Amino acid sequence: MSDSLSRRNFLGTAASGIAATALVRPSVAGGVEAPALHTTAQAANIAVASGNGLRGVERAGQLLAQGADTLDAAIEGVKIQELDPNDRSVGYGGLPNEHGVVQLDASCMHGPTKRAGAVGALEGIKTPSVVAKYVLLYTDHIMLVGEGAKQFALSYGFKEEDLMTDATRERWLRWRANRGETDDWINVPSDSQLVPRQTGTINMNVVNSHGDISSVTTTSGLAWKIPGRVGDSPIIGAGQYTDNEIGAAGSTGRGESNIQVCGAFLTVEHMRRGLKPTDAALETLRRVVAASEDRLIDDRGRPTFNLSFYAVNKRGEFGAATIYPSRYAAFDGSEASRRDTAYLFERNG
């Protein structure tokens, strides 16, 4: 069974193109029109992602140039990381929860058809981004979780596998041994192999030369998390969001803080008001800081965590912003490269 959007019921959904200059007036509840946005015809295929997505944006850009659907291109891009056993952030080899089980989350949106799909706490399947796309394609639901998500994947021929590599199992065993002085485990020597709490995620947003947009986010979540914890990645409007008339945005970093402000949706709404992608992401981060609990703010009024947003608009403009300096990956129509993000605070400022 082919899973290509261009070969199934999504035939003909992508726009054939937009005029050299078009006036878009998205309507909102009550019939009040949102601010008009002037969009111009795309001259290039664009992909923007978190810093670990350099290979992914290059692959997505190549596929877009070959005429691939935007969501197919984005998912093929993030699959590179999902299938890489040496990448501890997502998919196969992702860092496990406190019980030593890898639980994966992913979500996606397809702008032309206004469809979305997501999976949460998925075990035993290397590519949750593809399972999320199957939820989008073949169900009237948006999110499946846990055992139900796994059974859904198996019904479509996905193979159940052990997602722990020798390297990630060693890191988990070292974390378990050293997590407390009074537990029943004997501490082992702490060295560079001991991995602290960390998040691992890749977000990708793409727009093709016709102005059609899609987004996807996939993650193994927070290392050593409480079993069943789901972050922002599979939450539509938080981990990623697409509006085919405006643009797309997504996030990596502290998921709980992103969920509290519906950050991806908010970033797209800032672009709807006319902000450029980078400025829209910065505005969302200011909202995150304002909404943060006191326990997450240091004595200088700065967050004790980092959070990043990546965005692209229908014109093909793109950018990224973080609370503290970081880098992101982008394919600008001709080549893929890592770039510096805009940011709110210097790390030691």
Q: What is the pTM of this model?
A: 0.86
Q: What is the spatial distance between Cα 322 and Cα 251, in angstroms, rounded to a whole number?
A: 10
Nearest to 49 by CA among 59, 40, 64: 59
Beta bridge partners of 216: 108, 204
Average pLDDT over residues 156-164: 96
Q: What is the pLDDT of residues 78-106, one digit of tens each?
A: 999 999 999 888 999 998 999 999 999 99
By mean pLDDT, which of 138-147, 190-199, 231-240 is the weakest?
A: 190-199
Residue 40, pLDDT > 70, answer no
State the chain's mean pLDDT as an integer: 88
- Token pair of 161, please? 């596998």
* 52 or 24, greater pLDDT: 52
In this structure, how many other beta carbons lie within 10 angstroms of the beta carbon of residue 9?
Answer: 10
Nearest to 229 by CA among 313, 105, 124: 105
Strand runs labelled E in the chain: 21-24, 37-40, 46-50, 104-110, 115-122, 143-145, 199-207, 213-222, 240-243, 247-253, 307-313, 318-322, 327-331, 336-340, 342-343
Q: What is the spatial distance between Cα 219 and Cα 204, in angstroms, rounded to a whole number?
A: 12
* 175 or 130, greater pLDDT: 130
Q: Cβ neighbours of residue 130 under 8 Å, at least 6 residues apart?
A: 3, 75, 79, 158
Q: What is the spatial distance between Cα 45 and Cα 178, in angstroms, rounded to a whole number?
A: 47
Q: What is the spatial distance between Cα 60 and Cα 29, in angstroms, rounded to a whole number?
A: 35
Q: Which residues are annotated as catalytic?
A: 201
Q: Cβ neighbours of residue 51 under 8 Å, at least 6 residues apart?
A: 326, 327, 328, 329, 338
Q: What top-level class would CATH report for the domain 45-179+193-343? A: alpha beta
Task: Answer positive or negative: Cα dihedral of 17, 206, 61, 23.
Answer: positive
Average pLDDT over residues 122-147: 98
pLDDT bin (cut points 50, 70, 90) of residue 185 is: low
Residue 21, pLDDT > 50, answer no
- Token pair of 231, please? 């972050």
Residue 129, pLDDT > 50, answer yes
pLDDT bin (cut points 50, 70, 90) of residue 275 is: very high
Burial class of 177 by CB neighbour count within 10 A (0 to 12, 13 to 18, 19+): middle
